[in-house]
Amino acid sequence: MDFDVETIVIGGGAMGSATAWQLARRGRSVLLLERFLPGHLNGASHGASRNFNTAYSDPTYVAMLAEALPLWRELEGESQVRVLDQVGMVNHGPNPAFDDVVSSLARVGLGGSFLHPAEAGERWPGIRFDGRVLHTPDAGRLNADASVAALQVAAAGHGAQIRHDTRATRLQVHDDDHVVVTTDAATIRARRAVVTVGAWTSSLLAGVVPTPRLVVTQEQPAHFSLRDASPGASTRAASDWPGFNHSYDPSEARYDYWYSPVYGMFTPGQGVKAGWHGTGPVTDPDARTFTPEPLQLAALQRYVRDWLPGADPDAVAPISCTYTTTPDEDFVLDRVGPVIIGAGFSGHGFKFTPAVGRVLADLATDVAPGPGRFALSRTPNAAPGGWLARR
C-alpha cells in the first residue's frame, strides 16, 4: 500500500516539533500538523521563558536532562537561533531532597552546590532566601517561543512538512501499520501517528487508545516589573536574576497563604515571572477564560512582596497557559500499535523537550521501548512526585 507519509505528528507544540525534528534528521518522511497559527497562546508551549531546572534526583529524569542539554545546543547550531541561556538556578526552602539532587547531578557531570542564604542574598539581591540554597550553574532559562520555531525550522531543514492552521479531527487505526488522520481539509494515510496535542489528548484519542486520567488546568503565572527602573539599572538588575524554585512546608504557619511551591525566572523585556505550580482551575482547553483567579493572583502578589524584593508586586501582568497533568506527574511516552503518545507533561516537561522528541521518534521507528516509568500501563504512585516546583 502506498502511504501519503511515513509518520504523521499531530500537534506542533514543543514535543511534536521536537519529534518531527528527530524523525526528519534520521531521513524519515514526516508531516507535522498544528491546529493553530504560529505563535498562538492556546496551549503550553508559548511564551518567552521556561526554567531549564536541573534540580532532579530521580535517575530517569537526570539522564534525560543530561541528554537534553547537548541536544538544545545542537538545535541552536542547526537553526542558528539562541534558545537556552545558562544563567543558573537557585532552589531554596524546606526540601529534604536537595542532598540527593547534588549526588545525582554529579554522577552525570552536572553541577550543584550549597550556599548560605546570606551569601546567596549578596549575590542575588532581588531574591530573599529561605534556608540553605542549592545553586545549579548548568541550569538556566529557555525561550519557549523561540524553541518551538527553531525546532520547526530545523525539522523543515531535514525535509519535514509542516502545516499550521490544520486541525486533526479524527484518528483511525486500520492495523498495526496503517493509520488515517482526517483534518478539516484532507484525509492523510500514514504508517505511524505521533500524538502530542497536550490538553486535547483525551478528546482526540477517545475510543482509539486508552489514556490515563489527564487533568487540564488553566495556570496563571504573572510577570512583575523590576523595582529599579533608573537608566541602565534594569540591564544590570536583569543580569542578577537566576531562575528560582522555592519549596515550602504546608504545616508551617508562615506559608499559610501559599498554594504550592513557587517557580520563577527573569523574562527579558517582560520582568520577573513567578507562579504557583499546578494549582489553576480545571478547564476545557476550548473554553478557557485566560483570566487569573483573583485570590491566587493576590496571593502571588503577596509572595512577591515577601520574597522578591527586586520585583514590584503591584506592577503585574498576568499570563495564562495550560498544564496537562497525570496522577503521578510523570509523563506518558508510549506506543499502542501504530499510535505513539506523548502527553501528561504535568508542568515540568519543557526542559526535556529534545530528549522527549528522541524517545517518541525511537518509538515511532521501532528503535527501542520508552522508559518503563512513562508507560501507559503503569500504576500511578499514591502521591504526586512533583512537590518541587519544576517549572
388 within some domain: no
pLDDT, residue 251, reads 96
380 within some domain: no
220 within some domain: yes
pLDDT, residue 230, reads 44
CATH of the domain at 166: 3.50.50.60
281 within some domain: yes
383 within some domain: no
Sheet containing 311-318: give its strands across. 113-115, 133-136, 89-92, 243-246, 262-267, 271-276, 222-226, 311-318
- Measured between alpha carbons, how far is residue 87 from residues 273, 332, 388 in Å? 15, 30, 20
* Number of domains the chain is built from: 1
176 within some domain: yes
Q: Which regions in the chain score pLDDT beneath 70?
A: 1-2, 228-239, 370-371, 379-391
379 within some domain: no
Long-range CB pairs of 72-78, under 8 A, 24+ apart, other chains included? 72/142, 72/147, 72/354, 74/354, 75/21, 75/147, 75/150, 75/151, 75/154, 75/354, 76/150, 78/150, 78/153, 78/154, 78/157
Task: In whole angstroms, give the CA distance from residue 143 to residue 92.
Answer: 24
The pTM of this model reads 0.94
pLDDT, residue 247, reads 98
88 within some domain: yes
Longest alpha-carbon distance in the chain? 68
Domain hosting 9: range is 5-374
* Strand pairing class (262-267; 243-246): antiparallel
